[in-house]
């Protein structure tokens, strides 16, 4: 049983030395337990937070323990009445080949409907995040302008497409020309801008001649700086993530603009609301699952996964995720299905 554990708490960007690969015996399920074989492991930006012991909404991973993470797994052995060998389940087995479970929290998946790995993306946590953040906090109206960054990623690609389904104008932001072409051709956005361009702020202003009504915040930093002056009165900002800050060790250089930001919030009567998807919206999961499954069946949602083979590649893939190297929802294929 291979396990990738947390070896040390990173200062700044994580490195391969912050993780360790261990071999342990495959555990044996006792009465009431199942042994799960990990098939797919989801890699997500929140895992950077779990590597740190700074106070947060969830406990950190302890040094020496396997990294946490959502998985799509198969029942390898069962001493539990509700699970048969071969069943597909959504689990939280973490970065390892095998895990024991008493069945609590496991969700059975039907692999004949959609590829089982979709439960980690479009039909799972990232899709749910996009759906609730955009619709419950962003509340886009037809004809309004939505700006979303990391727009080809797991969450952003769904925000962009749900925004279009709701009749809004969607201005996407992504890193590089390939990602931007993809967003225009496959996600149906009205414009896509490369945040690495020197004149990014000018491009954004030009792409949003009527200002910005909804800014789906996932990155912070320079993107937020460019968005702020363009926000309209009554703008809504679902604060979903701040990925450009996750590896930061100090405040950025430059003048303190907090007063300016608060002034804009006041004068423009903006709504700025953070949310943690399952803590805040678990009770509305069915609403999302119903809509998203229907859109997917009707071919209204395009979904791109980046599947990387082998558990030992998770470390490098995760480090890359925090630097924009992924293209689509990042998933590790840990075992054969």
For residues 85 and 149, give the distance between their C-alpha atoms in angstroms, rounded to a whole number. Answer: 42
| C-alpha span between 60 and 74 (Å, rounded) | 27
User: What DSSP letter does each residue of 310-322 carry, written as one string?
Assistant: -GGGHHHHHHHHT
Distance CA 225, CA 232 (A): 15
Does residue 174 touch ligand NDP according to CB under 6 A? yes
Q: Which is nearer to ligand NDP, 151 or 235 (CB)?
A: 151
Kindly report the number of other CB atoms within 10 A of residue 50's CB atom: 17
The correct pick among 21, 46, 166, 291 for binding ligand NDP (CB under 6 A) is: 46
117 binds ligand NDP (CB under 6 A): no
Does 138 contact ligand NDP by CB under 6 A? no
Counts of helices then strands in the chain (DSSP H, E):
10, 15
Cβ closest to ligand NDP, residue 1 vs residue 186: 186
Q: Candidates 34, 75, 170, 219: give the one binding ligand NDP (CB under 6 A).
A: 219
Q: At its nearest, how many Å lie between ligand NDP and the CB of residue 61?
A: 16
By CB under 6 A, tell whether 129 contacts ligand NDP. Answer: yes
Q: What is the CA radius of gyration of the chain?
A: 21
d(CA 301, CA 189): 12
- Rounded Cα–Cα distance for residues 211 and 316 (Å): 39
Looking at the Cβ atoms of 90 and 321, the one nearer to ligand NDP is: 321
Q: How far apart are CA 49 and CA 208, in angstroms?
A: 33
* Contact status: 212 vs ligand NDP (CB under 6 A): no
Q: Does residue 69 belong to the site contacting ligand NDP (CB under 6 A)?
A: no
Q: Per CB under 6 A, does 308 bind ligand NDP?
A: no
Angle at 158 between CA 45 and CA 106, to 5 degrees: 60
Q: Which is nearer to ligand NDP, 27 or 252 (CB)?
A: 252
276 is a site residue for ligand NDP (CB under 6 A): yes
Angle, alpha carbons 168-117-331 (nearest 5°): 85
Between 178 and 210, CB nearer to ligand NDP: 178
* Nearest to ligand NDP of 79, 273 (CB atom): 273
Binding site for ligand NDP (CB under 6 A): 44-46, 126, 129, 149-150, 152-156, 174-175, 179, 195, 218-219, 221, 223, 240-241, 243-244, 275-277, 321, 324, 326, 329
């Amino acid at each position: 049983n291979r396990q990738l554990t947390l070896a040390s708490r990173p200062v700044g960007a994580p490195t391969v030395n912050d993780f360790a690969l261990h071999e342990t015996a495959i555990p044996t399920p006792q009465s009431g337990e199942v042994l799960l074989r990990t098939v797919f492991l989801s890699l997500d930006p929140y895992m950077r937070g779990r590597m740190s012991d700074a106070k947060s909404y969830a406990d950190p991973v302890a040094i020496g323990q396997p990294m946490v993470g959502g998985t799509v797994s198969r029942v390898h052995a069962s001493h539990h009445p509700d699970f048969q060998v071969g069943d597909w389940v959504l689990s939280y087995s973490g970065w390892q080949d095998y895990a024991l479970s008493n069945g609590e929290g496991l969700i059975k998946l039907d692999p004949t409907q959609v590829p089982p790995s979709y439960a980690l993306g479009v039909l799972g946590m990232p899709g749910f995040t996009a759906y609730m953040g955009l619709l419950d906090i962003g509340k886009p109206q037809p004809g309004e302008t939505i700006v979303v960054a990391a727009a080809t990623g797991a969450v952003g690609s769904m925000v962009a497409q749900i925004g279009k389904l709701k009749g809004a104008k969607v201005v996407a932001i992504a890193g590089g020309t390939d990602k931007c072409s993809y967003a225009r051709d496959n996600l149906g956005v009205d414009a896509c801008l490369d945040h690495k361009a020197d004149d990014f702020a000018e491009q954004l202003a030009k792409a949003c001649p009527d200002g910005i009504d909804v800014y789906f915040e996932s990155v912070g930093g320079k993107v937020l700086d460019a968005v702020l002056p363009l926000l309209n009165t009554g703008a809504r900002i679902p604060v979903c993530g701040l990925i450009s800050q996750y590896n930061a060790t100090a405040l950025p250089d430059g003048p303190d603009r907090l007063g300016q930001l608060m002034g804009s919030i006041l004068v423009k009567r903006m709504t700025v609301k953070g949310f943690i998807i399952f803590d805040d919206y678990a009770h509305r999961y069915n609403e999302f699952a119903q809509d998203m499954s229907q859109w997917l069946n009707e071919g209204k949602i395009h979904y791109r996964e980046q599947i990387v083979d082998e558990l030992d590649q998770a470390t490098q893939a995760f480090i890359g995720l925090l630097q924009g190297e992924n293209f689509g929802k990042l998933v590790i294929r840990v075992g054969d299905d």
